[in-house]
Amino acid sequence: MKTGCRDAACFCLWRNSLVKNNLIFNRLIFKGKNFKKNMALYQKDDHRSSLLDDIYASPDLGVSMPKYRIPEEEHDPRVAYAAVHDELMLDGNSRQNLATFCQTYLDPEIHKLMDEAADKNMIDKDEYPQTAEIESRCVAMIADLWNSPDAANTIGCSTTGSSEAAMLGGLAMKWKWKAKRQAQGKPTDKPNLICGPVQICWHKFARYFEVELREIPMEHGRLLMTPEEVLKRCDENTIGVVPTLGVTFTLQFEDVKAVCEALDKLQKDTGLDIPIHVDAASGGFVAPFLYKELLWDFRLPRVKSINASGHKHGLSPLGVGWVVWREKQDLPEELIFNVNYLGGNMPTFALNFSRPGGQVIAQYYNFLRLGREGYRRIHQSCLDTGIYLAEEIAKSNLVEMIYDGRGGLPGCCYKLKDGLNTSYNLYDLSEKLRARGWQIASYSLPANAQDIVIQRILVRHGFTHDLANLLLDDMYRSVDFFKAHPVLKQMTREEAGGFNHS
Ligand SMILES: Cc1ncc(COP(=O)(O)O)c(C=O)c1O
């Protein structure tokens, strides 16, 4: 409808309602003017924007909203909200996103706390001392969870996620190594870091901070770091080794204890003392609850620092990570900056300055709300669902399990069996499942296993047994569909898109 016609229609409806109800002006809001005294009723255009019209009948939503230039005039907040809110309907339904490690279910109380904390700046310890206090309590709780020998007195901080936390952990190792080399009068221009198949944040760290990344490639039959492969790459320029607890590609845990033992022996044999930082982005909030006996944390003296994402299995909203050092002396003094805090100084170590405080507050809420037993029960139920999915999917005889849901993160991953000659590949299957809202990552493994294409399902808080059955039904339906309508040209990774967080 053209704007003029719509205006006329609106006006008629409006006038009819006035006459009918004899409730003059009860549907009007005033912008500081006495409308009743000074205005004639027919001057509707002057007050069109003041009417409490249905927003979807408003002129503003009847035309295209500006997309790439800030508009000259303001919009009614209800209209602007509807425009933004409605556009976001086209985003995927996050609860059905089984590709992400990040939290997509939050208690209503967390929504409330996030709203109440919208104005709190994490860096401003002086203005928000209680938020700062809550952050230090979280650090102490996490250090204790990871068995720091002196949890109450160790050092650590919140970050925006594991990527920032990994950068800080990496920087601390680099500075420690540099100081030692300088003290020995040795060159410091060729630092290297050894890791298994890592998440991209370590590639970033290596490039941004000029460290050679000695990434142990995957091989057929060996998808994780091994002590032997680590030892092959160690030398006097190695700033540290980074095992991953919850490898992004396969959800498995690397064997931190075995790597520690190998490095202990290396030190005995050669004098080289190489520290370990554990990237426990996901596993850091899973292992302490599900695999209490597993030795991966500060119980191993060689583990000097650990990072984890609060917004992954820490069950907090997006935007919080943690890095904790085993003991204060494991974080070089030179990296610490002091900020004002209740008239004194508080040490901080961060790449960002201003940062929202709500996520840290929500993390503290989760610790109080769930306790260790609450975390255990949530992750156990996810783990059980992952195992169930793996078992059911295996029954199809179409796949070979790569991770069957046991001993690592909740979920599973698999590849199509060799020699099946199905018309479809896993990218086609992911794409078909998308039609029902499921987002399931399919991707090829990194070097030297690029020829293996796998599909990974992550099971997170809020993904129930019933939802797993609905997903399985959709998988069977998709496979049946491909049998009836064979795929003529299989999709490629590029065409399938899909984000796998690696
Ligand atoms: C092992 C690992 N490390 C680091 C990261 C980066 O974490 P964040 O997204 O919290 O920055 C991820 C993300 O998936 C990960 O899986």
pLDDT in tens, 308-331: 999 999 999 999 999 999 999 999
pLDDT in tens, 422-469: 999 999 999 999 999 999 999 999 999 999 999 999 999 999 999 999
Task: Kindly provide the residue ranges of all beta strands, DSSP E only, lying in 120-253, ordered along the sequence.
Answer: 156-159, 192-195, 212-215, 238-242
For residue 90, the CA-to-ligand 1 centroid distance in Å is 25
| pLDDT for 12 beyond 80 | no
For ligand 1, atom 16, the nearest C-alpha belongs to 248
For residue 253, the CA-to-ligand 1 centroid distance in Å is 14
Predicted model pTM: 0.90
pLDDT of residue 33: 38
| pLDDT for 419 beyond 90 | yes
d(CA 500, CA 427): 12
- Determine phi and psi for 310, rounding to 5 degrees: -60, -30
Specify whether the CB–CB gap between 174 and 242 falls below 8 A. no
Across the range 177-196, mean pLDDT stands at 98
Q: What percent of the chain has pLDDT over 70?
A: 90
| pLDDT for 148 beyond 70 | yes
Ligand 1 atom showing the smallest separation from residue 321 Cα: 10
Question: Is any ligand 1 atom within 6 A of the Cβ of residue 321?
Answer: yes
On the 0-12 / 13-18 / 19+ scale of CB atoms within 10 A, 275 is buried
pLDDT in tens, 252-311: 999 999 999 999 999 999 999 999 999 999 999 999 999 999 999 999 999 999 999 999
* Cβ neighbours, 10 Å, residue 464: 12
* Cβ neighbours, 10 Å, residue 168: 24
d(CA 331, CA 336): 8
For residue 66, the CA-to-ligand 1 centroid distance in Å is 35
pLDDT of residue 49: 55
Across the range 476-491, mean pLDDT stands at 97
Nearest to 273 by CA among 376, 409, 187, 176: 176
pLDDT of residue 377: 98
Question: Is any ligand 1 atom within 6 A of the Cβ of residue 131?
Answer: no
Question: Is any ligand 1 atom within 6 A of the Cβ of residue 201?
Answer: yes
Across the range 340-347, mean pLDDT stands at 83
pLDDT of residue 52: 66
Across the range 156-172, mean pLDDT stands at 98
* Cβ neighbours, 10 Å, residue 70: 5
pLDDT of residue 344: 82
Domains of the chain listed by start with CATH number: 3-90 (no CATH), 124-367 (3.40.640.10), 381-496 (3.90.1150.160)
For ligand 1, atom 5, the nearest C-alpha belongs to 162
For residue 246, the CA-to-ligand 1 centroid distance in Å is 10
d(CA 208, CA 202): 10
Region of poorest pLDDT, from 70-84, 288-302, 322-336, 484-498: 484-498
Instruction: Work out the mean pLDDT of the chain and round it to a whole number.
Output: 91
- Note the residue count of the chain: 502
For ligand 1, atom 14, the nearest C-alpha belongs to 501
| pLDDT for 48 beyond 70 | no
For residue 482, the CA-to-ligand 1 centroid distance in Å is 34
| pLDDT for 220 beyond 50 | yes
Which pLDDT band holds residue 369 (cuts at 50, 70, 90)? very high
pLDDT of residue 37: 44
pLDDT in tens, 228-249: 999 999 999 999 999 999 999 9
Nearest to 10 by CA among 40, 61, 54, 65: 54
| pLDDT for 76 beyond 60 | yes
pLDDT of residue 43: 60
| pLDDT for 25 beyond 70 | no
Which pLDDT band holds residue 16 (cuts at 50, 70, 90)? very low
For ligand 1, atom 13, the nearest C-alpha belongs to 501
Whole-angstrom CA distances from 400 to 212, 218, 404, 453, 459 are 35, 18, 10, 11, 19
